[in-house]
Structure 1
Amino acid sequence: MTAGSLPAPLRQAVARVARTPRLLVVCDYDGTLAPIVEDPARAVPRPESVRALGALAGLPETTVGAISGRALRDLAALSGLPAEVHLIGSHGVEFDAGFAHALDSETQTLRRRLEADLELLVGQTPGVFLEPKPASVAVHVRRAEPAVGESALEAVRSGPAQWEGVYVTEGKAVIELAVVETDKGEALDMLRRQARATAALFVGDDVTDEKAFARLGGPDVGVKVGRGESLAEYSVPDTADVAAMLASLLAERRAWLSGETHRPGD
């Protein structure tokens, strides 16, 4: 899809938000910048999206970020996004590589116990795999037969998910148990404050992104990727459309900043 083939209301919203004095652009990773694949280690982003985000991050008064459920280290290694793009891992709580060491000893013990228990509970189930992170463990079932995957998820829900001090986040074919509370919305707000943004555009595809969509208002723009109910006002079918939208945003922002388009108040 090209920028010109985006739905007219979305094109207009992108053009409008591109003209804000201080713009914040934040995207989810899997299912937004990178297509969903069976092996998460092979989920590479669309090059067009990487180029557009990098170019946006280089513009004046424009802040760019990516918020992912992945561990920050994995997000940085896999995404290939430039250093100018702010990376936030673990659903909005992991802001730097030393995050795990900042957990107190009791919390770290709970994290280790979680991983050991989940390994015993579902780790040997065909098609089910664990993704350890600094402050959480995700249980993925997308490779499992539907009935097997649902049985594994239910075992987690009725088991370690009930422990005191454990925070549960469910997504598409995944359940994540964390030892700290996670919230992409809070991470979005933090970036907004740092950038002193006058408007934000947030793009995401999963239920965990709804916490960020819930923080949008006024001139902000929320875009849901794929089908399903969402708090986002706009939607696009897939990651190719996200790349086209980001390219359109980049072109509009460049033009406005260079004075090629009329600025409000001029």
Structure 2
Amino acid sequence: MTVAQSPPRPLDDGLPQLRATLEDADGLLLCLDFDGTLAPIVDDPNAAVPSERNREAVASLAAAPSVTTAVVSGRALSDVRERIDGPSIYAGNHGLELARRGSIAVHPVARKRAARVDRVCSALEDSLASVPNCRIENKRLTGTVHVRSVPPAAESVVRRRTREAVDRFGGDALEISLGKRILEIGPDVPWGKGQAVELIAADVSPETVVVYIGDDVTDESAFRAVEPDGVGVRVGNDDPSSASYRVRAPADVAAFLSWLGSTGTGLVE
């Protein structure tokens, strides 16, 4: 179902309704993005860590029998698993990798096209080496060109050379998508965070409330996957989104997670 985009309402406006919904539910499936949601956005992606309040809140919710927690990130699966403990499910590379029930599944097309991603990333390491503060992250199944600290005058060069490399080594097999100050390179397949969340949700009771919290363009498919029966919460400003509600920053995410673990539900003893 397609959800029309409009500015999300402040989350505080929806807490009474959410509490009533949770009281009638069998449980809660809580799906969380990492960067910009559990961890503040930083110039160096390697330095990103969840806030202590978010770390503690996730651990508390993950330990509750009636709560299933999942992290759904653009980071590689091995990377995001090292950064936050507790969740029983992890989806990396925008859902192309999924760890659950003791095994890891990788999208078969993404696996086949990983060599193309590697060639693109290698080419960009050379062609963008002269651009100040431009960082190429090879995540095996996808690649990310970070432009957060790139001088504005050089951004057009980064975009042009990225497109040239993808056209040369990826052809129709790869695509470029935009995020917050990043260019994402990945397989041109109809799969993303939304499909990963749908797959995760298929394993829980139909009476389970699904909540997804994220901050970026890639999270919009996940918001569409959970709305309107579940709840999408966008972290950031009031730009139009498929999420119903918004909070401002990871600190507000921590407050909401704490609410879920206490006054929000009876799911955590």
Give yes or no for TM over 0.5.
Answer: yes
TM-superposed CA distance for 1:76, in Å, is 1.3
Question: What is the one-letter code of the residue matched to 1:38?
Answer: D
For structure 1, the residue ranges without an aligned partner over 5 or more in a row are 1-5, 259-266
Counterpart CA distance in 2 for 1:216 and 1:33 is: 19
More strand per residue: 2
TM-score normalised over the length of structure 1: 0.84
CA spacing shift, 1:120–1:100, aligned 2, 3 Å: farther
1:149 CA drift (Å): 2.3
Runs (4+) of structure 1 exceeding 4 A deviation are 96-106
Please name the residue that 1:111 is paired with. Answer: 117
Greater displacement, 97-106 / 30-39? 97-106
Q: How many residues align?
A: 251
Question: What is the SS of the residue equivalent to 1:164?
Answer: helix
2:3 corresponds to: none
Q: Residue 89 of structure 2 corresponds to which residue in structure 1?
A: 86
> Does 2:25 correspond to 1:16?
no
TM superposition score normalised by structure 2? 0.84
Q: After TM superposition, list the pairs within 5 Å mapping 1:62-77 onto structure 2.
A: 62-77=67-82
Which residue of structure 2 lines up, in the alignment, with residue 42 of structure 1? 47
| 1:192-231 alignment runs, 5 A limit | 192-197=201-206, 198-227=208-237, 228-231=239-242
C-alpha root-mean-square deviation of aligned residues, in Å? 2.5
- 1:41-190 to structure 2, matched below 5 A, reads 41-79=46-84, 81-82=85-86, 84-96=87-99, 107-160=113-166, 163-179=171-187, 181=189, 182-190=191-199
Tell me the amino acid that sits aligned with residue 180 of structure 2. Answer: K
Q: State the secondary structure of the residue aligned to 1:142.
A: coil
Given that residues 17 and 221 in structure 1 are in contact (C-alpha distance below 8 angstroms), is that contact kept between their aligned partners in structure 2?
Answer: no
> How far off its partner does 1:105 sit?
8.0
Hey, what's the Cα distance between the residues in 1 that align with 2:240 and 2:35? Answer: 18
More deviation, 245-254/68-77: 245-254
Q: Percent identity?
A: 31
Q: Secondary structure at the match of 1:63?
A: strand
The one-letter amino acid paired with 2:223 is F
Where in structure 2 are there 5+ consecutive unaligned residues? 1-9
Q: C-alpha separation between the residues in 2 aligned to 1:29 and 1:105?
A: 23
Deviation at 1:195, TM superposition (A): 2.1
Deviations 1:122-175 (A, max 9, x none): 243111100110211110000111221243123323541572200322101101
> Are the structure 2 counterparts of residues 252 and 18 from structure 1 closer, same or farther at C-alpha, using a change threshold of 3 Å?
farther
Contact 1:59 1:254 in 2 (8 A): no
Q: Which moved more, 1:167-176 or 1:241-250?
A: 167-176
Distance 1:46 1:140 in 2: 22
